[in-house]
């Protein structure tokens, strides 16, 4: 405007511009200067795509200005710009979203493909620590308790607790209380009916004593084991409302799971076999999960101090990996009569549990010889074949017709008779 006023002063008085003319002329000159400094990108007539600025070449100075992003209509190609002009990203389809930043190598958080659902004090932590050394397995480190305590938080909250996994890896978690929670099977099935389930079980009497020992370490003034386990010990009446006893009723809990999942989708790990033969149990577990058998006996050694297997030290570590101090603690000594009473109580439940998980056509005319351990049920076929049924499968071994050794007891062959202690036996 100053230039226009100065120009107007040089004119004769009769030709000087009015104020309105000065304002209009100033506005026109301002527009011309702006267009000269910031020329607009031209666009060919008939080309429906918006104009886009080319990215500056390497080393070229970048002009700082605001401009709308280039967004091409789906399936449209920008006219006048070939692939070489669009840089390295030209090979990507413009209608395909890029993967999330930071996830290309670390993977994404996914809902679990497999869950260790139980049981408490059965060996679930050992199973998780052993299987997670497999390169194709990633597991949540802590118990999530999503399906029994935090279900109202939603699946996205649950997903957020999972580790990042690649497409080829399995996601796992463990929460032992799931096995005995009524609503859990239905809720897991609603999440995914294809979820693989793992249950680690052991002799329910030993499990109950271990459970009590752990609770006693946290609550020193706890009542005695016998007072909690029995309503009337002299009559042998067991208190099934006590959680330590109720958990060991495996057959009752399994019935609830079989309403929502087929038996083939549930894998049972023997807590006893996990100690005696960890590599064998892990081999069967890897088969169940569809994994290559990478975790083998070379990964384990038996720690005599703790009384259970530990992982051998990896090359990058200076010491072997054993479970924490709370694992392998010495059990409280329980009166032998109380132990025998509990074994008598659990025996029919153990037999039923075994009958539920065994292959239906494997045994016919079978006499159950011992049923103190649900995974150490010995059977006799025609007095010749004695088979021990474990969680991961059934292995058979021929024994002498004259002499059968069952669960550490010598049973002579002869006429079958009913035995109060063993069910059926040979004498």
pLDDT in tens, 41-81: 444 444 443 444 444 444 443 443 434 444 333 344 333 33
50 vs 41: CA distance, rounded Å: 10
Please state the three-class secondary structure of 350-375 as a single string.
HHHHHHHHCCCCCCCCCEEEECCCCC
Report the range of poorest mean pLDDT among 157-161, 184-188, 286-290, 410-414. 410-414
- If 0-12 CB within 10 Å is exposed, 13-18 middle and 19+ buried, where does residue 51 land? middle
End-to-end CA distance of the chain: 123
pLDDT in tens, 164-204: 999 999 999 999 999 999 999 999 999 999 999 999 999 99
pLDDT in tens, 272-303: 999 999 999 999 999 999 999 999 999 998 88
Residue 121 is among the residues annotated as catalytic for this protein: yes
The continuous run of DSSP H or E covering 266 comes out as strand 266-270
Could you state, in order of their start, the residue ranges of all structural domains in the chain? 108-311, 360-426
Report the range of poorest mean pLDDT among 104-113, 265-274, 295-304, 402-411. 402-411
What confidence tier does 12 reach under pLDDT thresholds 50, 70, 90? low
112 vs 138: CA distance, rounded Å: 9
CA dihedral defined by 188, 189, 192, 196, rounded to 10 degrees?
80
Which residues contribute to the annotated binding site?
121-125, 202, 210, 327-331
The pLDDT assigned to 377 comes to 43
More confident residue, 203 or 20: 203
361 vs 11: CA distance, rounded Å: 117
Cα-atom radius of gyration of the chain, to the nearest Å?
Answer: 37
- Strand, coil or helix: 378: strand
Q: State which fold the 108-311 domain adopts.
A: Rossmann fold (3.40.50)
What predicted TM-score, i.e. pTM, was given to this entire model?
Answer: 0.64
Which residues contribute to the annotated binding site for 3'-phosphoadenylyl sulfate?
121-125, 202, 210, 327-331
Q: Which of 44, 66, 120, 121 is catalytic?
A: 121
What strands, in cross-sheet order, belong to the sheet with 114-118?
137-139, 170-174, 114-118, 196-201, 266-270
* Residue pair 386/401 in contact by the 8 Å Cβ criterion: no
pLDDT in tens, 362-389: 333 334 444 445 544 444 333 333 333 3
Q: Which residues does 279 contact at the CB level (< 8 Å), separation at least 6? A: 295, 296, 297, 299, 300
- pLDDT mean across residues, the chain: 73
């Amino acid at each position: 405007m100053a230039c226009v006023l100065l120009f107007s002063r040089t004119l004769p008085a009769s030709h000087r511009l009015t104020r309105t003319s000065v304002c209009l002329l100033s506005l026109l000159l301002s527009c011309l200067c702006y267009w000269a400094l910031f020329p607009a990108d031209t666009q060919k007539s008939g080309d429906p795509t918006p104009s886009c600025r080319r990215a500056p070449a390497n080393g070229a100075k970048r002009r700082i200005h605001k401009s709308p992003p280039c967004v091409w209509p789906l399936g449209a190609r920008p006219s006048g710009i070939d692939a070489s002009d669009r840089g390295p990203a030209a090979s990507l389809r413009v209608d395909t979203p890029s993967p999330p930043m930071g996830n290309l190598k670390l993977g994404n958080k996914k809902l679990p493909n497999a869950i260790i659902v139980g049981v408490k004090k059965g060996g679930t932590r050992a199973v998780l620590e052993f299987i997670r050394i497999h390169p194709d397995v990633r597991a949540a480190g802590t118990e999530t308790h999503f399906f029994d305590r935090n279900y109202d938080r939603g699946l996205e909250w649950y997903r957020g607790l999972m580790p990042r996994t690649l497409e080829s890896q399995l996601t796992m978690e463990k929460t032992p209380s799931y096995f005995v929670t009524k609503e859990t099977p239905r809720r897991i099935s609603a999440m995914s009916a294809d979820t693989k389930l793992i249950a680690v079980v052991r002799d329910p009497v030993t499990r109950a004593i271990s459970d009590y020992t752990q609770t006693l370490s946290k609550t020193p003034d706890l009542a005695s084991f016998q007072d909690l386990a029995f309503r009337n010990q002299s009559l042998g009446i067991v208190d099934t409302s006590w959680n330590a006893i109720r958990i060991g009723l495996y057959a009752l809990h399994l019935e609830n799971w079989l309403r929502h999942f087929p038996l083939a989708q549930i894998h049972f790990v023997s807590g006893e076999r996990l100690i005696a033969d960890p590599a064998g149990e892990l081999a069967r577990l890897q088969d169940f999960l569809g994994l290559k058998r990478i975790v083998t006996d070379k990964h384990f050694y038996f720690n005599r101090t703790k009384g259970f297997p530990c992982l051998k030290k990896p090359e990058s570590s200076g010491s072997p990996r054993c479970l924490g101090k709370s694992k392998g603690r010495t059990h409280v000594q329980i009166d032998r009569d109380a132990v025998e009473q509990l074994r008598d109580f659990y025996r029919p439940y153990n037999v039923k549990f075994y009958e539920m998980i065994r292959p239906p056509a494997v045994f016919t005319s079978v006499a159950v010889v011992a049923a103190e351990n649900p995974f150490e049920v010995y059977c006799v076929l025609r007095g010749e074949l004695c088979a021990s049924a474990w969680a991961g499968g059934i292995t058979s071994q021929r024994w002498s017709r004259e002499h059968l050794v069952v669960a550490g007891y010598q049973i002579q062959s002869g006429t079958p008779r009913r035995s109060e202690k063993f069910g059926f036996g040979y004498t």
